[in-house]
């Protein structure tokens, strides 16, 4: 496990007061959180690569396979707020160890569902649905708990970059899963192939157990949540918190369009050949490997230059507004390749705001950072559940160009909501 990428955060954290207040080495903690989150993302998405084999073995229709995928999303979305509440109360060392072990066991259980061992059939579709639902429940705390751990243990001025690096697990998982699990499925079949993501989750559990800092703090924030004003004693009731949640909900609505519909849009509307469309669809997610950490790092730099409020605004506000312009241009251009360039850059700008969102959440929610993160992530996933249905519904009635232009309006609103998000950091030397 390399500390090369996060090592600059060790230097940025500085010495003196910060070293005393935040004794955890940033590089070590971020590397471990990135490993855990990436392992979880590979394990949770491996079933999509195994999907054709599962359909054949269980004789499922596409709608039934969709139920299997939706079972995960149902557990994941419903448990966002409870998992955030849990992250506020359970030590990160214990929580992430339990989560990684659960992912290992549940991935193996997915492989065994419907199998015959010793003449006994180990369940069928109901077992598969139950396992995926439990997987969603166990995956729900990942990002709220990661942000909470960063918020409590690292200096606020490096939290944008720290969150961005951990959230790069989305790009890592999206890129690695088709390559690793896809090759294993072709070589061994879908059941043995799922042993690979289970093993990755198991390695992450061992690494976390062996190397997670033993001095991780749990109940003391180095943020404004330590002050005793009414807004800070109830930070989740503040207007700025709900402006942040509203913006992230719209960001999720926009982002999930690219997750679910970019490929089909390229094939059905822009008439790309299937394999070329698949390659182009992967391009934005490869770019996010750089964009997510970069967005967080730029946000941290802006905080140091312009102060906490405008520093945190200066990445997501223009990025979301510019993404709206690119979305309209990509939807309305007559050139398929200009459309690809615009929509790819739009995706990168939208996803690149993840680090600033989560760093700001830490400062706004204070000691309720886990619960606040669960609420914020629930909003994003709620937007993600609506947009894959609403977008094609609109496209059937007003056309794809108009449907994507409507989404562009939401992107502008998401950006402008940041004008209502203020941040006052304390305890950051």
Which domains are assigned to the chain? 24-218 (1.20.1250.20), 234-429 (1.20.1250.20)
Average pLDDT over residues 5-10: 54
Q: Return all residues near 45 (Cβ < 8 A) that are at least 6 apart.
A: 173, 174, 177
Cα dihedral across residues 167, 169, 172, 178: positive or negative: negative
Q: What is the pLDDT of residues 277-291, one digit of tens each?
A: 667 777 887 888 889
Specify the pLDDT at position 24: 77
Interatomic CA distance for residues 211 and 44, integer angstroms: 24
CA proximity to 296, closest of 352, 223, 252: 352
Out of 39-48, 169-178, 222-231, the most confident range is 39-48
Specify the pLDDT at position 257: 82
Indicate the angle between helix axes 51-58 and 26-49, nearest 10 degrees: 40
Average pLDDT over residues 152-156: 87
Main-chain phi, psi angles of 308, to 5 degrees:
-65, -40
Residue 152 scores a pLDDT above 60: yes
Both structure tokens of 111: 């492989």
Both structure tokens of 123: 């369940």
Q: What is the pLDDT of residues 167-202, one digit of tens each?
A: 999 888 877 888 888 888 889 999 999 999 999 999
pLDDT band at 260 (very low <50, low <70, confident <90, very high): low
Q: Cβ(160)–Cβ(296) under 8 Å?
A: yes
CA proximity to 153, closest of 265, 13, 16: 13
CA proximity to 30, closest of 300, 236, 244: 300
Cα dihedral across residues 367, 373, 375, 379: positive or negative: positive
Main-chain phi, psi angles of 238, to 5 degrees:
-75, 150
Residue 251 scores a pLDDT above 50: yes
Q: Count H helices, E strands: the chain?
A: 22, 2
CA proximity to 252, closest of 362, 390, 115, 350: 350
């Amino acid at each position: 496990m390399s500390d090369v990428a996060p090592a600059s955060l060790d230097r940025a954290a500085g010495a003196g007061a910060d070293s005393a207040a935040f004794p955890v080495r940033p590089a070590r903690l971020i590397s471990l959180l990135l490993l855990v989150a990436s392992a979880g993302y590979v394990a949770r998405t491996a079933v999509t690569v195994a999907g054709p084999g599962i359909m054949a073995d269980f004789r499922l229709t596409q709608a039934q396979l969709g139920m299997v995928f939706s079972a995960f999303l149902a557990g994941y979305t419903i448990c966002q707020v409870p998992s955030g509440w849990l992250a506020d109360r359970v030590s990160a060392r214990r929580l992430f160890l339990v989560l990684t072990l659960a992912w290992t066991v549940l991935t193996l259980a997915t492989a065994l569902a419907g199998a015959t061992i010793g003449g006994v059939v180990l369940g069928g579709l109901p077992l598969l649905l139950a396992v995926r639902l439990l997987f969603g429940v166990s995956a729900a705390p990942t990002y709220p708990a990661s942000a909470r751990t960063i918020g409590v243990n690292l200096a606020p001025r490096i939290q944008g970059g720290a969150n961005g690096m951990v959230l790069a697990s989305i790009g890592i998982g999206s890129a690695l899963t088709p390559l690793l699990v896809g090759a294993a499925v072709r070589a061994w079949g879908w059941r043995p192939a799922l042993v690979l993501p289970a093993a990755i989750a198991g390695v992450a559990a061992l690494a976390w157990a062996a190397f997670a800092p033993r001095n991780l703090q749990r109940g003391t924030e180095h943020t404004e949540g330590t002050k005793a004003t009414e807004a800070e004693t109830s930070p989740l009731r503040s207007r700025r918190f709900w402006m942040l949640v509203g913006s992230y909900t719209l960001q999720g609505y926009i982002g999930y369009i690219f997750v679910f519909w970019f490929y089909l849009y390229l094939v059905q509307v822009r008439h790309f050949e299937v394999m070329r469309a698949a390659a182009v669809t992967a391009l934005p997610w490869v770019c996010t490997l750089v964009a997510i950490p970069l967005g967080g790092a730029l946000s941290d730099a802006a905080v140091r230059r312009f102060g906490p409020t405008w520093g945190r605004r200066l990445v997501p506000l223009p990025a979301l507004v510019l993404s709206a312009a690119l979305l309209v241009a990509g939807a309305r251009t007559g050139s398929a390749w200009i459309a690809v360039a615009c929509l790819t850059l739009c995706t990168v700008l939208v996803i690149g705001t993840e680090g600033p969102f989560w760093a700001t959440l830490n400062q706004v929610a204070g000691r309720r950072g886990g619960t606040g993160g669960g609420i914020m992530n629930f909003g994003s996933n709620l937007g993600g559940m609506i947009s894959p249905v609403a977008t094609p519904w609109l496209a059937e009635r007003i056309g794809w160009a108009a449907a994507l232009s409507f989404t562009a309006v939401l992107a502008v609103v998401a950006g402008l909501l940041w004008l209502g998000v203020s941040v006052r950091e304390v305890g950051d030397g």
